[in-house]
Amino acid sequence: MTLMRLLAVSASALTLAACAVGPRYEAPKTPPAAFVNADPAAVAAANPEAAWWRQFEDPVLDDLVARGLAANLDLKVAVAHVKEARALFTDARLDQLPRITASGTYAASDQQQPGSGEHRVDGETWQAGFDAGWELDLFGHVRHGVDAAKADAGAAEADLRDAQVSVAAEVARNYFEMRGAQARLAVAERNLDTQRETLRLTKARFEVGQGDPVDVASAQARLSATEAAIPAFRAAEVRSANRLAVLVGERPGALGGRLQAVEATPPLTKALPIGDAGELLRRRPDVQAAERRLAAQTARTGVATADLFPRVRFSGFFGFLSGDIGSLGQSASQAWSVTPTITWPGLDLGGARARLRAQEARGDAALAIYDKTVLGALEDVENALSAYGHEQSRLKSLADQVAASRRAAELARIRYREGAIDFLVLLDAERTRLEAEDALSASETQAKVDVAAVYKALGGGWQGAPARLAAADSRADR
């Protein structure tokens, strides 16, 4: 068969290649989401800023999130995975074209010529040229492989965005918890001063015969209890600071003076902009990643289906072949060959069908994972919105309690000094004030943490990634 005839047969076969076997992928139809637990007094339908953490107007927080998005090691891993997936996609696309490689070989032999008795012949063979290989994609084996690689690349990109969402939220959460520990420590230290004064007052009254030793012991016990709470707050502060350092790609303790205690920023009092509920599932990167993995498994089912049918491959050589290196490269040594190969698992169709069933099961699992991811996304949002709305209500009540308990403690101190009330009344008033102030500080921290949880659940924040990370992401496609 001549080369031209082979090419003609190949061209005719290409008309069949459009009939790829296997399933045709369609993205799952998912009903739009609705915010069931959104408190109208706490949230608004306005579109949030991509860099949602800037609402707190805290430059230290802004800097930490920016550093986290630029240097976090989990993000570097995710960027590397994007580069890997895009490179594999590029390699898969090249399977649609002939693969051509250059080669050069030399062979020396000493062998007996058949039918020539014991006579042996020395020989040399020199070869240089190009080898080519190509599969005629009659049933979509190659095409489905390309689709799978493309979907894998899309899943890796969505994983990168999901990692960016998580890093921004985790930096904010740990920052808020660190500031919360500092604020609760400040509350305890302020109350220590008050309790030391109360202890001094009870001792003075006892020394002049107007007090009771029980009052002195109770005041000392209350002071010791507050002192015992302080180490836990300091440990929580260090733990959150160390976690922040790791999140921004530094060693624990490296942030140093940047995290010194400052006056805490107040929690947000305006309605939290959360955007349109209908965009939720299209915005969540983990849902996007699950959908792309479902597409990849569907394409691989197409590959497994195509394995039931014959595969046609062509291999060829064009170059020079000579027994003498001196004549290699001359017209007389020119050589070419074309070798068509047909393979078909005709005697192993049972195994091929079993592999197809296994792949179909992987597709079913990918669909279930997608559905689970959608439900998990909705659960995250509803829980975050519910927690945020209820914490806002709790915060208002605690603020009222603190104001009232402070007035009560001041009046109790004055009346105790005047001898109008028992010491236990003063002790109870001061204990109530401390508990209320500590609870308010903890609630303010939790309200800020809830904001981070809301925006993490909504899938926002990756748009705020710095240009350097975006550039690294785009280079992964080269």
pLDDT averaged over the chain?
86
* Domain residue limits, the chain: 22-98+140-311+351-475
pLDDT in tens, 296-336: 999 999 999 999 999 999 999 999 888 888 788 888 888 98
Residue whose C-alpha is closest to residue 191's, from 436, 422, 24, 358: 436
pLDDT in tens, 17-54: 456 798 999 999 888 778 888 888 788 888 888 889 99
Tokens of 61: 């927080």
Q: Of 226-230, 372-376, 427-431, where does the model show the most confidence?
A: 372-376
pLDDT in tens, 177-210: 999 999 999 988 888 887 787 788 778 877 777 6
Letter string b/e over residues 264-303, b meaning 16 or more CB atoms within 10 A of that residue's CB: beebbeeebebbebeebbebbbbbbbbbbbbbbbbbbbbb
Beta strands 311-322 and 120-136: pairing type?
Answer: antiparallel
What pLDDT shows up at residue 469?
41
Torsion 450-455-459-465 (CA) sign = negative
What pLDDT shows up at residue 461?
56
Give the separation between CA 435 and CA 438, rounded to whole angstroms. 5
Letter string b/e over residues 73-87, b meaning 16 or more CB atoms within 10 A of that residue's CB: ebbeebbebbbebbe
Residue 12 has pLDDT above 60, yes or no: no
Across residues 230-236, what is the average pLDDT?
A: 93
- Can you name the CATH fold of 22-98+140-311+351-475? Outer membrane efflux proteins (OEP) (1.20.1600)
Report the residue count for the chain.
Answer: 478
pLDDT in tens, 253-294: 888 778 887 777 778 878 888 888 878 888 899 999 999 999
What pLDDT shows up at residue 44?
84
Helices within 208-272 (DSSP H only): 213-247
Q: Of 44-58, 72-86, 109-123, where does the model show the most confidence?
A: 72-86
DSSP state letter for 307: T
Residue 215 has pLDDT above 80, yes or no: no
pTM: 0.84
pLDDT in tens, 389-408: 999 999 999 999 999 999 99
The answer to whether the CB of 459 falls within 8 A of the CB of 280 is yes
pLDDT in tens, 342-360: 999 988 999 999 999 999 9
